[in-house]
Chains A and B, each alone.
Chain A
Amino acid sequence: MDIRQVTETIAMIEEQNFDVRTITMGISLLDCIDTDIDRVAEKVYNKVVSKASNLVKVGDEIAAELGIPIVNKRVSVTPISLIGAATDATDYVPIAKALDKAAHEIGVDFIGGFSALVQKGYQKGDEILINSIPKALAVTDKVCSSVNIGSTKSGINMTAVRDMGRVIKETAELSEMGPAKLVVFANAVEDNPFMAGAFHGVGEADVVINVGVSGPGVVKRALEKVRGESFDVVAETVKKTAFKITRIGQLVGQMASERLGVKFGIVDLSLAPTPAVGDSVARVLEEMGLETVGTHGTTAALALLNDQVKKGGVMACNQVGGLSGAFIPVSEDEGMIAAVQNGSLNLEKLEAMTAICSVGLDMIAIPEDTPYETIAAMIADEAAIGVINQKTTAVRIIPKGKEGDMIEFGGLLGTAPVMKVNKNSSADFIARGGQIPAPIHSFKN
């Protein structure tokens, strides 16, 4: 081992905020289905606690051994709409409470999977789950919720889009943090380790370990060394850096899987920022030569970053999955916050950026008087981008305060400036409901 390589790794961790963002244990709850909601809640609690009781301990051990922070330990579960459907309950809040109690008991940061997949229509449990979301997120601390309302194979369920616009508003009315724990997806993935959108797909093994890495600061530092060079050099630099970062995700996943006796699922290659200075995706884009993120050229810069991260990361791992790309949350990225505040970055540009990155409109605060139909229409736009481009898109927006206010979430969720929203109505568009059909290029059989 070369001394320079060793000091390079240590500098990544100590100076450039490189960390493993999350070890997420996916747990199937299909064997907890029962006709009685209280028995379901009891079984759910018992299964999560029995499978994940050592997750935090093992995560902390690995962090100490490798000398790298593992910031979050999380659990994702089977979409609760499927688990609750056999009961005659009219809301699934008791299951959310059981998940929350289990998360507190085992000490994980979040538990995801208060979810429903409704891209083509509602089954019995779906509508009950969706209507339970506002209260479930208000009475729990650690439960995260997601709803998939569209897919390339199915099109977009515009009735669900309308309902989710309303649910986001109600969630914001019932709790301050609720909307930050709720994601509306198109093309949701079943092995995502990141919150708030993680759930454990029914095609997965009973229990798996998925890992998400971070490291925008490392990419930025690498790019600082190639200032003025051509994009060929930039692309190669991002790819090599992503490879190094992701190798650590692979290592941590392997170690966690062995020690917990659980199958290793995937490494998610996403570059996840935090509000800390030096841990920003926006600053990586600016390092490529943009005065401020949001200006012309931003979409191209993000496209290069996203693609090269994938190319480097794919080579570094056995199995890649989750969302795997650059995240562009506003509140969790000090560079994005600064760009919104100086007027360079607006909602329309963010929407364009979501066409080529891994997620969507993420952690964006909008005025609390925004009509639910406008929120639904934002969801529809994002879903259309995802469905047509055969990629995941998501909306996690927070209707709170008025334009120009700053909304504090604290911790990894950061601070969000309330952004300007187009005030012209989308109400008649959203009132229609029904299904936008799947695109022609989805018919591949």
Chain B
Amino acid sequence: MKAIITVVGKDRTGIVAGVSAKIAELGLNIDDISQTVLDEFFTMMAVVSSDEKKDFTKLRSEFEAYGETLNVKINIQSSAIFDAMHNL
């Protein structure tokens, strides 16, 4: 599976470190990572992959719960939706 994780929230120390650790803990590999500030919000995007099929419902609830501890919103979606919309 290939997915895109997005993290949006108020900037603070340890967001990248924390989210990266969580990604590793869930058995996902980071293929690409970037971050910027959009509309005054810290915005991070990580392209992650795994050789195994993953349960998105479970991953989503894991990341949502972890995001709450960092006071940021974490989303995980299959990269297919972004490829379909933005790549020809």
Q: Which residues of A contact B (CB under 8 A)?
A: 1-7, 9-10, 61, 64-68, 244, 247-248, 250-251, 255
Please state if A7 and B6 are interface contacts (CB–CB under 8 Å). yes
Please state if A2 and B76 are interface contacts (CB–CB under 8 Å). no
Please state if A3 and B80 are interface contacts (CB–CB under 8 Å). no
Please state if A244 and B36 are interface contacts (CB–CB under 8 Å). no
What are 5 A-B contacts with C-beta separation under 8 Å?
A: A1-B82, A2-B86, A67-B60, A67-B76, A67-B78
Q: How far is the CA of A61 from the CA of B86 in the complex (A)?
A: 22
Collect the chain A residues with CB atoms within 8 Å of residue B57's CB.
Answer: 64
Q: Ordered nearest first, which 6 A-B pairs have the shortest CB separation?
A: A67-B77, A251-B84, A66-B81, A5-B86, A64-B56, A65-B56
Collect the chain B residues with CB atoms within 8 Å of residue A68's CB.
Answer: 77, 81
Q: Which partner residue on chain B sits nearest A62 by CB separation?
A: B78
Please state if B4 and A251 are interface contacts (CB–CB under 8 Å). no
Q: How far is the CA of A377 from the CA of B28 in the complex (A)?
A: 63
Task: Indicate the member of A7, A244, A250, A251 with the most B CB atoms within 10 Å.
Answer: A7
Please state if B82 and A5 are interface contacts (CB–CB under 8 Å). yes
Please state if A66 and B43 are interface contacts (CB–CB under 8 Å). no
Given contacts A6-B4, A6-B6, A67-B75, contact A251 B36 (CB under 8 A): no
Q: How far is the CA of A67 from the CA of B75 in the complex (A)?
A: 8
Contact of A9 among B36, B76, B81 (CB under 8 A): B81
Please state if B77 and A66 are interface contacts (CB–CB under 8 Å). yes
Given contacts A64-B60, A67-B75, contact A9 B82 (CB under 8 A): yes
For chain B, give the interface size range: 20 to 34
Closest Cβ of chain A: how far from B32's Cβ, in Å?
8
For residue B72, CB closer than 8 A to chain A, the reply is no
Q: How far is the CA of A65 from the CA of B57 in the complex (A)?
A: 7
Q: How far is the CA of A5 from the CA of B79 in the complex (A)?
A: 12
Closest Cβ of chain A: how far from B10's Cβ, in Å?
16
For residue B85, CB closer than 8 A to chain A, the reply is yes
Collect the chain A residues with CB atoms within 8 Å of residue B86's CB.
Answer: 1-2, 5, 9, 244
Closest Cβ of chain B: how far from A61's Cβ, in Å?
8
Q: How far is the CA of A250 from the CA of B47 in the complex (A)?
A: 23
Collect the chain A residues with CB atoms within 8 Å of residue B87's CB.
Answer: 1
Given contacts A9-B85, A65-B56, A67-B60, contact A1 B80 (CB under 8 A): no
For residue B38, CB closer than 8 A to chain A, the reply is yes
Collect the chain B residues with CB atoms within 8 Å of residue A251's CB.
Answer: 80-81, 84
Please state if B85 and A5 are interface contacts (CB–CB under 8 Å). yes
Collect the chain A residues with CB atoms within 8 Å of residue B76's CB.
Answer: 67
Collect the chain B residues with CB atoms within 8 Å of residue A61's CB.
Answer: 56
Q: Which partner residue on chain A sits nearest B3 by CB separation?
A: A65
Contact of A1 among B38, B75, B79 (CB under 8 A): B79
Given contacts A9-B82, A244-B85, A247-B85, contact A1 B47 (CB under 8 A): yes
Please state if B4 and A1 are interface contacts (CB–CB under 8 Å). yes
Collect the chain A residues with CB atoms within 8 Å of residue B4's CB.
Answer: 1, 6
Q: How far is the CA of A247 from the CA of B86 in the complex (A)?
A: 9
